Amino acid sequence: MTDLDYRLEDFLSQVELEICEYLNKQKTKFPNSSKLLKRFTKRKDDWIHVSNHFRELKAKEKLGCKENSKSKEKTKLQDNIIIRNNELAEVVNELCIAKLFVEDITIDSIEYEPIVFKGDKSIDFHLRFIDGQTAYCDVKTIHPDDTGNWEQYQRALKNKLFPSHASFDLQQDSLGGILWHHSFASRTKMLEHVIEFEEKIVQKAINSSRKIMLFCGDGFRLSKDELEDFADFYYTEKYRKDDFMQLMEAYSMEKEAIILLRNIDYIAYFERKPMNLEYKFIPRVHGSASI
């Protein structure tokens, strides 16, 4: 096992001890917590299975088994490990958020995945507050990979797709391609996720309850500042002057005939770094009023 594997195993043990055991004792406030806890266990077991298979394959390589088929299998397993890591990050975020809701004294009860749609889609949480109000909260973790896309950034500069008053200056030798990919992919996912949540709201005719879109990030691949730009556009139908994605997003929305329903009440932000249970939570994201 690598040091990273050991660190992740230690972290998962910490999650079980500090969060899973805690939530398992909150049956009064969170009656169906077992559904979320079982999902964590399943994803942890999936990660262990894939990781063990990958280590076995590497061991065979050291013994001289380097056939082309083994190389293809190794690449496939590496991709699978990334998927499993992302799935773990997503469910750990949901566990942390569930704990946050349980500890919120204004919330009377919590239900996990109260509404499930075709295609394994759902709304993640239903909250009932002590004052009688209710809310539906959909949780999405945004974690683009570290693929560099310097050529796309250069094309955007050449085609003048950045506003003159909102430059986005990057250097190729300072992770410029990766940083660009993070920003572009994250903004694309923000739009995709709110559209999907809006459709869920309409499909289930959710009117009287508050609707919360909760984005999770690690503070690097998804930054709070960039989420503020998107949130302000969503609330006001106008782009902030310093939103460097506005021209590209507006062009894409017009080309694809996207019209936002704007039936989501709050865009929230949950930030947690990898293999760390400390977090920041902002219940309603918005930018500076002066811009």
- Shared-domain flag, residues 63 and 137: no
Dist. CA 263–CA 236, nearest whole Å: 12
Q: In this structure, are residues 208 and 135 in contact, taking their beta carbons and an 8 Å threshold?
A: no
Query: Phi then psi for 227, rounded to 5 degrees?
Result: -70, -35
- Shared-domain flag, residues 85 and 37: yes
- Shared-domain flag, residues 151 and 279: yes
Greater pLDDT, 280 or 173:
280
Tens digit of each residue's pLDDT (9 = 90 or more) over 63-121: 665 554 556 776 777 777 888 899 999 999 999 999 999 999 999 999 999 988 877 78
**Which pTM value belongs to this model?**
0.90
- Shared-domain flag, residues 176 and 80: no
- Check whether 18 has a pLDDT greater than 70: yes
Of the residues 79, 103, 127, the one at which a domain ends:
103
- Shared-domain flag, residues 131 and 71: no
Q: Which domain holds residue 215?
A: 106-291
Of the residues 103, 125, 140, the one at which a domain ends:
103
- Shared-domain flag, residues 164 and 78: no
Q: Taking the C-alpha atoms of 174, 276, 11 and 99 in order, what is their torsion angle to the nearest 10 degrees?
A: -140
DSSP secondary structure string, 82-133? Answer: HHHHHHHHHHHHHHHHHHHHHH-TTEEEEEEEEEEETTTEEEEEEEEETTS-
Please state the domain count of the chain: 2
